[in-house]
Chains A and B, each alone.
Chain A
Amino acid sequence: MSERASVPGRLPWVLVLPAVLGLVFLVLPLAGLLIRAPWSTLGRRLTEPQVLEALRLSLVTATLATAICLVLGVPLAWCLARLSFPGRRVVRALVTVPLVLPPVVGGVALLLALGRRGLVGQWLESTFGVTLPFTTAGVVVAEAFVAMPFLVISVEGALRAADPRFEEAAATLGASRWTIFRRVTLPLVAPGVVAGAVLCWARALGEFGATITFAGNFPGTTQTMPLAVYLALETEPEAAIVLSLVLLAVSVVILASLRDRWVTSP
C-alpha cells in the first residue's frame, strides 16, 4: 500500500473502514457456506440421484442456451457494430433490457409471448404442436432470454475494437462478406466471443427467476441447480449447502478463467 499511495501520511480511516466492512460483507456469506458445509457427507450427497439430475440438467440447458445465444447473438452484435441503420440505438437499448429487467418479469413476459395462450405460443402449438412452458426447452428459452445480452454486449465491444480495415483488405483479396466474417472478423474477435460465451453460460447456469416462472420446477425436466437449492432449503438445508457449493465452485472456475480479460483492471 505504502509504495502506491500518492500522498504519504496517516491512513484515511473514513475510507478504509467502510472498505473493510464492504469486503467482509461480500466474503462472509461465502465463508459461512464453506464453514457450515457438511464436509463428511459431501461425497455421498453429491452423488444423490436428485443432485446429479439437477446438475446434469443445469449443465445441459446452460450449454444449449449459450449455443442459441452464440448463433443468434453474434450476428446481432455484428449488425449493431458494422451496419448503420435507422433505430440502431433503439435496438441496442432493447437488447440490454433483459440485463436490467427483474428475471421474474422476464418469465412472465415469456409466458405471455410463448405460453400456450401467448402471442407466438398459440401459433407454435397449433402449427407445430410445440409447447415451451414447463418443459426442458422452456428452461433453455428462459436462460437464453436472460443471458443473451451478456454475449451481445461483449461481442459488439470486441467488434468495435477490431480494426475494420482488415475486412477491407480481405475484400480487396476477393473475399465475400461471409468469407470475411468467417475467416477474418470472427478470428479477430474470438477472445471477445469466448469471454462473452463464458459470461453468458455462467448467467444461464445461475438463472432462477425467469426459469421458475416460465418453466416451473419439475425434478428431472425443469428443476435446475438454483431451483433445487431453493427447494432443498425448505426440506434439507444440508443438501442446499452442498448444491450451493457446487455452484460456487463453478463461479470460481469461471472467474479464474476470465481473470485476465474482465476482472483485472488496467
Chain B
Amino acid sequence: MSLSARLRLVRPAFRLTLDLDVAWGEVVALLGPNGAGKTTALRLLAGLTRLTEGEIVLDGAELRALPPENRPIGMVFQDYLLFPHLSALDNVAFGLRCQGAGKAAARRAAADWLARVGLAGHTGARPGQLSGGQAQRVALARALAIHPRLLLLDEPLAALDAHTRLEIRAHLRRHLDAFEGATVLVTHDPLDAMVLADRLIVIEAGAVVQAGTPAEVARRPRTDYVARLVGLNLYRGTAQGRAVEVDGVVFTVAEPLDGPAFVAFSPSAVALYRSRPDGTPRNVWEARIDGVERHGDNVRIHLEGPIAAVADITPAAVAELDLTPGTHVWASVKAAETHAYPA
C-alpha cells in the first residue's frame, strides 16, 4: 500500500472516522452526501486541517507532523483556486518554483504540462479569461506538475455544466490512468465516482458505510443513500432459505440465505396491475400511488404501502392502467430480478 491513513477528527458537532488504503496508481473515490466529511478527509490528508488522532503514512513516511507545503501532494480544489493575478502558465509554474526550479526551467515544464492538458494556446490567459473546463484543466496541470505522490481531487467536476462535464470526465480519466501515484477523489456524483475510481468508499455522517469496487457497490447497496445513488429499491429483512420477509411482504430470491438480509431490485423490474395478479403470492404487494413523474423515456411511479418503492413504467402502460396519484395498485417483481445478500 502506498497510502495508509487512519483519519480521526473530533469537532463539537462532527466526528470523522475513516481508514484509507490506496495503492500506487489506484484511484479511490470518497462518495457521500453533503456534510458527510468527504472534503474534511481531503483537508486532513493535505494537512490543511489537523488530525485529532490517527496517522497518515505515505510510502513508509509519516506525514502527520508535516505542514502542507512539505507533503508530497497535489490538490485540485472544487472551484480550482487558480491565482487570479497569475497567467495560466505562471499558475502551473508556481509549484515548480516553490520546489526550487529556476524561472526559465519552471516555465518550460509548465508550458509542457499545459500542452499535455490541451491548453498549449492558453499559456498567457488569466484565470478570469478561461472557461470552466479550461480552468479545471489548468488546475489539474498545476497539481500534477509538481509530481505529487498523492493526488487529491475535491469535487473536480462539480463546477462544470453538463456538456463540459462529460468531456472533462473523459479527459480526467485519461490523466488519472497515466498518474503513477495514489489518488483520492471526493465526489457526491455516483457517475463521476463510477467512471473515475477503481474503488469507492461511501461515507455518511463521518463514518464509512460501504466500500468496494464500483460494480460491487452498485450491485449490493447497503444504505438507502447508496441505493438511491445507484437507482435501486433496497430493503432490509429477514431471510429463511430462498424467502426474505420485509415488513409483511415475502420476496423469493435466487440465492439461499439465513438471517438479516438486504433485497435490492431495479425500478424497471417492478410491474403494476389494477387487480391482483394470479400465481404465486410471493413478490406481490398492494400499494397506493404517491407520485408520478417523468424519468427519461419512462414514467417513475412512487409507491406507498407496506414497503415504499419506485417503479419505472412505460407511458403507454400508465395511460392504459390510468395510474394517477391515490390509485390503489398491485405491484410485483420477478424473483430472477431481485438480488439478496447478507446485511
- Report which of A166, A174, A176, A190 forms a contact with B81, defined as CB distance below 8 A: A166
Tell me the residues in window 78-104 of chain B with beta carbons closer than 8 Å to chain A beta carbons. Answer: 81, 83-85, 94-95, 98-99
Query: Is B262 on the interface with A (CB-CB < 8 A)?
Result: no
B98 near A166 (CB under 8 angstroms)?
A: no
Given the interface contacts A168-B48, A169-B75, A183-B94, does A175 sit within 8 Å of B69 by beta carbon? yes
List 5 additional contacts besides A171-B68, A173-B95, A190-B85; criterion CB under 8 Å.
Answer: A172-B68, A173-B74, A173-B94, A173-B142, A176-B98
Query: Is A179 on the interface with B (CB-CB < 8 A)?
Result: yes
Interface string of A185-224 (1 = CB under 8 A from B): 0011010000000000000000000000000000000000
Interface string of B42-76 (1 = CB under 8 A from A): 00001110000000000000000001111101110
Mind listing 8 A-B residue pairs with CB under 8 Å? Answer: A170-B94, A172-B48, A172-B69, A172-B75, A172-B143, A173-B143, A174-B70, A183-B94
B84 near A169 (CB under 8 angstroms)?
A: no
Query: Is B285 on the interface with A (CB-CB < 8 A)?
Result: no
Query: Is A36 on the interface with B (CB-CB < 8 A)?
Result: no
CB neighbours (8 Å) of B70 from chain A are: 174
CB neighbours (8 Å) of A188 from chain B are: 83-85
Interface size class of B (residues with CB under 8 A): 20 to 34
A173 near B146 (CB under 8 angstroms)?
A: yes
A189 to chain B, nearest CB (A): 10
Q: Which residues of A contact B (CB under 8 A)?
A: 163, 165-166, 168-176, 179, 183-184, 187-188, 190
A156 to chain B, nearest CB (A): 20
A253 to chain B, nearest CB (A): 27
- Which of A174, A183, A188 counts the most chain B CB atoms within 10 A? A174
Complexed CA–CA distance, A172 and B46 (Å): 7
Chain A to chain B: the 3 pairs with minimum beta-carbon distance, closest first? A173-B95, A174-B98, A169-B81
Given the interface contacts A165-B77, A168-B48, A168-B68, does A173 sit within 8 Å of B98 by beta carbon? yes
CB neighbours (8 Å) of A187 from chain B are: 83, 85
A172 near B74 (CB under 8 angstroms)?
A: yes
CB neighbours (8 Å) of B74 from chain A are: 172-173
Chain A residue with the shortest CB-CB distance to B71:
A172
Complexed CA–CA distance, A179 and B100 (Å): 12
A180 to chain B, nearest CB (A): 8
B288 to chain A, nearest CB (A): 49
